[in-house]
Amino acid sequence: MDSRTDTRQRLIDSARDLIYARSYSDVGVQEICNRAGVRKGSFYHFFPSKRDLTLSVLDQLQAFFRHDILGRAFATDIPPLQRISRFFEYAGDFQQQMQQLTGQMPGCPFGNLASEMSTQDEGIRLKVKQIMRDAEVPFEQALAEAVANGDLPEIDTAATARALFAYVEGIMVYAKAHNDPDMVRELGKRALQLVVPERLA
Partner DNA sequence: CTTGACATTGACCGACCGGTCAACTAGATT
Partner DNA sequence: AATCTAGTTGACCGGTCGGTCAATGTCAAG
Residues lying near its own copies in the complex (CB under 8 A) are found at 21-26, 79, 81-82, 102, 104-107, 110-112, 114-120, 125, 128-129, 132, 151, 159-160, 162-163, 165-174, 176-179, 186-187, 189-190, 192-201
Q: How far is CA 121 from CA 57, 127, 166, in A?
A: 15, 10, 21
Q: How far is CA 93 from CA 35, 73, 77, 178, 183, in A?
A: 27, 12, 19, 16, 11
Binding partner selected for residue 121 from its own copies, DNA, none, CB under the kind-specific 5 to 8 Å limit:
none
Should residue 122 be labelled a site residue for DNA when binding is judged by CB under 7 A?
no
Which of 188, 185, 167 has the alpha carbon at shortest distance from 92? 185
CA-CA distance, 50 to 127, in Å (whole number)?
A: 15
CA-CA distance, 134 to 154, in Å (whole number)?
A: 22
Distance of CA 113 to the CA centre of its chain: 10
Q: Cβ distance 50 to 37 under 8 Å?
A: no
What residues numbered 34-63 form the site for DNA, per CB under 7 A? 38-46, 48-51
Select 45 or 72, whichever has its Cβ closest to DNA: 45
Select 39 or 129, whichever has its Cβ closest to DNA: 39
Binding partner selected for residue 23 from its own copies, DNA, none, CB under the kind-specific 5 to 8 Å limit:
its own copies
Binding partner selected for residue 173 from DNA, its own copies, none, CB under the kind-specific 5 to 8 Å limit:
its own copies
Note the residues at the interface with DNA (CB under 7 A): 1, 3-4, 7, 27-31, 38-46, 48-51
